[in-house]
Amino acid sequence: MPYDDPDATDPMTLHGVQVETDSDQANREMAECFVEEYLRMGFDRVRLLKMFQTRGYAGPFMAYQALGEEKIVSMIEQIAQRWGGREKTHAVDRHPTGEIMLPVLE
């Protein structure tokens, strides 16, 4: 079998599915997962909210549209209190020139 051809019997092949739901609970849970994950990676509150407002982040943007800015900001604050103290300790930023900027440890 050629290198680039997927093997139909491979159990590790990724398969994407679309799940449709009108449930606000599903959107809240998805948004909470994004908030917790990115806070734990070191995103600060402002950067995290900007991610939700950016169309290129499909999942967070969809939650932002469904729940509204007020709920997203509230969610970020609540989860940040639980996972606080990690801001700017793990996330890696890039300078406009492309070089990696070291995280600021406070």
Q: Compute the distance between CA of residue 57 and CA of residue 76 in angstroms, rounded to an integer.
A: 16
Q: Does residue 1 belong to any structural domain of this protein? A: no
Decide if 24 contacts 66 (C-beta within 8 A): yes
Q: Does residue 13 belong to any structural domain of this protein? A: no
For the entire predicted model, the pTM comes to 0.64
pLDDT of residue 106: 46
87 contacts: CB under 8 Å, gap ≥ 6:
39, 42, 43, 44, 45
Q: Does residue 66 belong to any structural domain of this protein? A: yes
> pLDDT tens digits, the chain, 106 residues: what are they?
566 777 778 887 777 777 777 778 888 999 999 999 999 888 888 999 999 999 999 889 999 999 999 999 999 999 998 876 555 544 555 555 655 555 554 4
Q: Does residue 37 belong to any structural domain of this protein? A: yes
**Rg from Cα positions in the chain:** 18
Q: Does residue 44 belong to any structural domain of this protein? A: yes
pLDDT of residue 9: 83
Range of the domain at 45: 24-83
Q: Does residue 48 belong to any structural domain of this protein? A: yes
The domain total for the chain is 1
Q: Compute the distance between CA of residue 93 and CA of residue 100 in angstroms, rounded to an integer.
A: 6
